[in-house]
Amino acid sequence: MWLALDVETKEVIAVHVSGRDVQGAKGLWRKLSQVYRQTAISYTDFWSAYSQVIAPEHHQAVGKESGNKVSV
């Protein structure tokens, strides 16, 4: 199960049930509203599928130690 959270409101903004692969990342990305896809920064772990789906200007890979929550 893939979840996307808004880091400010803590709300679940998208859910996608799929395998942990590029197709799953694409499925979650498509379920995000256009506003999030065009304006938000997506904080993720370093899993390579994210960088294949999310444009670099909207993506920031972070480690758990950074204090930023991983939230596509």
- Evaluate whether 41 touches 60 at the Cβ level (below 8 Å): yes
> 8 phi and psi, to 5 degrees?
-85, -45
pTM metric for this prediction = 0.78
> 19 phi and psi, to 5 degrees?
-70, 165
Q: What percent of the chain has pLDDT over 90?
A: 72
Q: Which of 7-11, 16-20, 50-54, 62-66 has the lowest mean pLDDT?
A: 62-66
Q: What percent of the chain has pLDDT over 70?
A: 88
Contacts of 20 (CB under 8 A, 6+ apart): 47, 49
pLDDT digits (tens, 9 = 90+) for 24-54: 999 999 999 999 999 999 999 898 999 999 9
pLDDT score of 16: 96
Tell me the CA distances in angstroms from 48 to 8, 10, 14, 22, one per residue in order: 25, 24, 20, 8
Is the per-residue pLDDT at 70 higher than 50?
Answer: no
